[in-house]
A = this chain, B = another copy of it.
Amino acid sequence: MSLKTDGLRHDEEDSSPLRRTSRRNTTRRERVAPNIGHVAAAAGVSRATVSRVMNGSPTVAPELAARVRAAAEALNYQPSRLARSLALGRTSVVSLIVPDLSNPMFQDILRGLSQAAAAQGHRLLVAESNENIQEEKILALEARRHSDGLVLASPRVPEEELLTLSEQLAPVVLLNREVPGSNLPSLSVDYAAGIRAIVTHLLSLGHRHLVYLAGPVASASNQERVAALRAASVATPGFTLTEIPCGSMFEDGHAAARAVLATKATAVVAFNDMVAFGTLSGLHELGVAVPDDISITGFDDIPFARYTTPPLTTASIPKNELGKQAWDRLWALMNGESPGHNVHFQPRLLIRESTGPAPTRHA
């Protein structure tokens, strides 16, 4: 018995992408996305040949290739990404997990990554963990299974778990987080150096009592900042450091304004620019002048930092660059290459107008 193979395995006789559908209680002919079989049938070739043509294989006779292209064109055929991904074992999608999409810092990373990935034909899946550790783990796992690789921005997951997770997540690159003793590629900012620059600046202005508005406790970069601050306070005679648990968002800083005042500190070092803005705004409402009564510094240099009143003194970090380089690293990993050495971006201190000489009390 001769097997008639016309390129269509289970469809009706003609090659047009119509299908007899019966779902619910309706039976009707509806137009359905054409598949490789339809094109093959229309062009009178095998599906393998269509596949070759669609992928630009040079081993197809020009005449055939033309016929296939014409058929594909006529049917408005687009190969299914899904099927292609399954067969190929890759999706051309990478994922980014961030703690908080409303943070301009992560928005910039998102943008940098998205553009770099797009430039090499990859798409970006985004997920927000809402600073929630459990969710972060689930999301990362989930996202990874939709994509070929992962970028974790400022992951809050504890070190050991991150280490375990990373095996299932690989290829993965970390942003703003290093796992010492692991070989997880990571791009980070030297927060300690940034803090040291800020402290030096403040000390030179005569400030001796600083208050630190701390970020999320689970934030590794917060811990770095705290450590640098404490080290400085220990190393400098007459330097008083007060720490106030705060957060990472505008509202957190805003809510902390009174507490800041209560410390009698002459300068506040905020976890990041958002917090600094909040505090700035809160202090303004309380009638406190910045920098005359109190100085404020931020961290990140988000786009609006230059336009606040007064413009914010802050430590600038290359957010876009983080995104772009994250892509480079990930791309290397996905191609089985070495991701290169980890790097520590050095923040640049931008002295603007939110910092000034320490007020001389009782003068």
Instruction: Judge whether A93 and B308 touch: CB under 8 Å.
Output: no
Cα–Cα, bound, A143→B141 (Å): 22
| Identical subunits present | 2
Q: Is A91 close to B, CB under 8 A?
A: yes
Q: Say yes or no: B307 contacts A277, CB within 8 Å.
A: yes
Interface residues on A, range: 35 or more
Contact with B along A82-93 (1 / 0, CB 8 A): 110110000101
C-alpha gap A101/B143 in the complex (Å):
21
State whether the Cβ of A124 lies closer than 8 Å to any Cβ in chain B.
yes
Is A57's CB within 8 Å of the partner chain B?
no
Whether the Cβ atoms of B146 and A81 lie closer than 8 Å is yes
Please, how many angstroms separate the alpha-carbon atoms of A12 and B203 in the complex? 69
Give per-residue flags for A72-113: 1 if the beta carbon is below 8 A from chain B beta carbons, else 0. Answer: 000010101111011000010100000001100001101100
- Contact A125 to B127, CB < 8 A, known contacts A80-B145, A250-B303: no
Say whether A281 faces chain B, with CB atoms less than 8 Å apart: yes
Is A123 an interface residue, CB under 8 A from the partner?
yes
Other contacts beyond A93-B146, A102-B108, A281-B307: 10, CB < 8 A: A80-B86, A81-B145, A91-B146, A93-B125, A101-B111, A118-B128, A124-B126, A125-B126, A250-B303, A277-B307
CB<8 Å pairs between A and B, sample of 18: A78-B141, A82-B91, A86-B86, A101-B107, A101-B110, A102-B107, A107-B107, A114-B126, A114-B128, A118-B128, A124-B125, A124-B126, A124-B127, A281-B307, A304-B307, A307-B308, A308-B308, A308-B309
